[in-house]
Structure 1
């Protein structure tokens, strides 16, 4: 009996170390950044069982077998659709500004679609104005309405959008809504999904959270896009979830969320439509590609027709495209770079690019919320401030609520607006979308919005920052250690 227990003990010990060795080897064999690999190894060695479970849950990009197969199967038809689109030569831009050209070249080579011209864009900074405009477009819709959001929360003016959608479906407009399971968890517990389906709306719970399948698909891989498509001609995208800020997270102590949306009309809506179609097929298995535009003349001529690219990321889309786009944008800056983000946990490469821009004389401004709804991200963000300040970067802490806008403006000409946070999750994990605009007039509009954010912010003084207490520095370094995992 004693021999039996001794053998079992040795087998358990051997299995335990074999498991650690196996996970270690897997981490080393995966192509990832050195800081990320080191962070995972240290977590596993300090807290072996917890670390191994955490790595199996969150350490690798698992889309799930069925979705991965669909993502692979959809590409032949998508490539064929893009080939048809390229035959519509009238919609593609022939002239790109020097500051935008490197990024547009990257997007064209990686996504296979050149920049699209003949679009009209309108920035919307007010939730009320955005909702009124959206409801008006829904009421005028004739053929289709398609939406994808990370968070949809019933209450306030969001219920007016729901009612408008159900009315549209009842009059024969095809309506499809895709909502992230984790972000919209509370919504799926309300009567609204049932009421919408009864009215004829297809409502899909994307990347459904399932405790029984936690080791088969990465649970923190989320559908983070925010897109509205109407009649394959009008689109909305930006940072706004479908929530009324007056009723959303009021107990978090950060104030109302401040967002930015772009209303887009023109050929680029079709590009956003193919992204939506790909997401829909990955989630449901149903293939519903949009009709390529057939313009005999552009809806908006050059003086009003913004040149636009769309960058989509996530499993099934070009790897690291968002990260590469941000790096290209930062390195293209010659005069000024303004970035807004609620969550600032950059990669080493992106941090180096931002600091290098400031060191070569670019006026670099980063606007972040003073109070953050994520304690870990808030402290991790602060760990980067010293290096940024030493390089000459101006850090503005927004005090008018949780600044949720994700935007980049380069030299007043190149604008990026979308769903991408400057953190590891957005750069390499989630389904994200960014609209890239090459237009000085649009850049001026975005600059005015960012100037308003700066006016409502407090600039961080390097001398005062250097005097912060030691306990704050310790906490910052602690969360910096986890930054590759956030």
Structure 2
């Protein structure tokens, strides 16, 4: 009997160390940053069983076998759609500003399409104005409406959006809505999904969260895009989820969420339609036939309007392109760089680029919310403040609510707006979208919005920050340890 237990114990011990070794090998083989790899290895060796389970759940951007197969098969069709657009040369940007040229060249080589001109943009800073404009466009829709959001929260004007959508579906408009399973968990537990489906709206729960799927797909890989497409020529995107801030997270103690959205009429809607069709097919297996480019771009004139490039990220799209776009934009800055983000947990490369910009004389302003809905990110982001302040970066803590706007403005000319946070999850994992706008007029509009944010923010003094209590520094460093994993 003793021999039997000895053999069993030896086998279990051997299996345990074999598992540790195999996971260690996976961490080392996978292409990732050194800090990220070291963080995972430390977690695995300090908390072996917990670390192994955590790595299997969150360590690799695993889309799942079925979705990954669809994504791979979809790419040739996506290339064909982009090629069709490039053959219609009149909406393509012939030239860009000196500031924007490197970024647009990067996007062209990585994504296969140049920037598109002839777009008309309207910037919304009020959620009420955004939702009312959206309801108006939905009521006028004749052919199709597509939406994708991370969060859909019922209440307030959002319910009127749902009612308008259901009315549109009843009159024959094809309506598709894709919502992230984790972000919209309350919505899918409510009555609206059934009501919308009964009205003819095709509602899809993306990246379904389930205990049974835990080890088959990474659970924190999320559909984080925010897009609305109407009749193939009107598009909305930005940082706003489908929520009325007066009814959203009122007990979180962070105030109302502050967002921006843009409404675009023009050929960019074609590219955004291709992105939506990719997401839809990856999730459902159903192919949406994107309209011929002539349907919605021939009416727009190249000589007027804004020049825009669309950057999409996530499984199935060019890896790391948004991260590269941010680096290119920051290094292009010569006079001023203003960045707003709710979650500041940058990669080493991004941190270095921001600090370097300030050290070469660029006035760099980073605006973050003073109070955050994520305790982990809130403490982890503070660990970067000292290095940023030492480099000469101005850090402003917004006190008028939870600043959820994701924006970058370079020298008043080059703007990046969309869904991307300055954290690892947005940069390397989630499905995201960013618009790059090369236009001085739009830059002036965005500058006014950012100036308003600055007026409602408190500037952190470097001397004040260096005198903060030591217990805060310890907590910051503790959460900094997890920053490559956030």
- TM-score class, shorter-chain normalisation, is over 0.9
Residue aligned with 2:90, SS: helix
Residue aligned with 1:262, SS: strand
Verify the 8 A CA contact 2:118 2:303 in the aligned structure 1: yes
Shift of 1:310: 0.2
Shift of 1:300: 4.8
Structure-2 residue corresponding to 1:355: 355
After TM superposition, the score normalised by the length of structure 1 is 0.99
Verify the 8 A CA contact 1:123 1:260 in the aligned structure 2: yes
Structure 1's 172 and 298: CA in aligned 2 closer, same or farther, altered over 3 A? closer
Structure 1's 139 and 149: CA in aligned 2 closer, same or farther, altered over 3 A? same
Residue aligned with 1:246, SS: helix
Q: Relative to structure 2, which stretch is displaced further, 286-295 or 475-484?
A: 286-295
Structure-2 residue corresponding to 1:337: 337
Measure, in 1, the Cα distance between the counterparts of 2:420 and 2:95. 27
Measured against aligned partners, the alpha-carbon deviations of 1:382-420 in whole angstroms (never above 9, x if no partner) come to 000000000000000000000000000001000000000
Verify the 8 A CA contact 1:138 1:164 in the aligned structure 2: yes
**Residue 316 of structure 2 is aligned to residue 324 of structure 1:** no
Measured against aligned partners, the alpha-carbon deviations of 1:309-351 in whole angstroms (never above 9, x if no partner) come to 0000000000001100100110010111000000000000000
Measure, in 2, the Cα distance between the counterparts of 1:333 and 1:412. 10
Structure-1 residue corresponding to 2:460: 460
Verify the 8 A CA contact 1:274 1:289 in the aligned structure 2: no
List structure 1 segments (4+ residues) > 2 angstroms apart after TM superposition: 295-303
Equivalenced residues, count: 485
Shift of 1:297: 5.0
Residue aligned with 2:291, SS: coil
Consecutive unaligned residues of structure 2, counting only runs of 5 or more, are: none
Structure-2 residue corresponding to 1:286: 286
Shift of 1:217: 0.2
Structure-2 residue corresponding to 1:233: 233
Measured against aligned partners, the alpha-carbon deviations of 1:334-385 in whole angstroms (never above 9, x if no partner) come to 1110000000000000000000000000010000000010001000000000
Residue aligned with 2:162, SS: helix
Residue aligned with 1:232, SS: coil
**Residue 447 of structure 2 is aligned to residue 442 of structure 1:** no
Structure-2 residue corresponding to 1:202: 202
Shift of 1:62: 0.5
Measure, in 1, the Cα distance between the counterparts of 2:456 and 2:242. 25
**Residue 16 of structure 2 is aligned to residue 16 of structure 1:** yes
Structure-1 residue corresponding to 2:259: 259
Verify the 8 A CA contact 1:90 1:298 in the aligned structure 2: no
Verify the 8 A CA contact 2:90 2:302 in the aligned structure 1: no
Shift of 1:75: 1.2
Consecutive unaligned residues of structure 1, counting only runs of 5 or more, are: none
Residue aligned with 1:242, SS: coil
Structure-1 residue corresponding to 2:66: 66
Verify the 8 A CA contact 2:91 2:301 in the aligned structure 1: no
Shift of 1:289: 3.0
Q: Relative to structure 2, which stretch is displaced further, 40-49 or 285-294?
A: 285-294
Measure, in 2, the Cα distance between the counterparts of 1:84 and 1:292. 8
Measure, in 2, the Cα distance between the counterparts of 1:462 and 1:298. 53
Measure, in 2, the Cα distance between the counterparts of 1:366 and 1:393. 7
Verify the 8 A CA contact 2:91 2:302 in the aligned structure 1: no
Alignment of 1:61-210 (within 5 A): 61-210=61-210
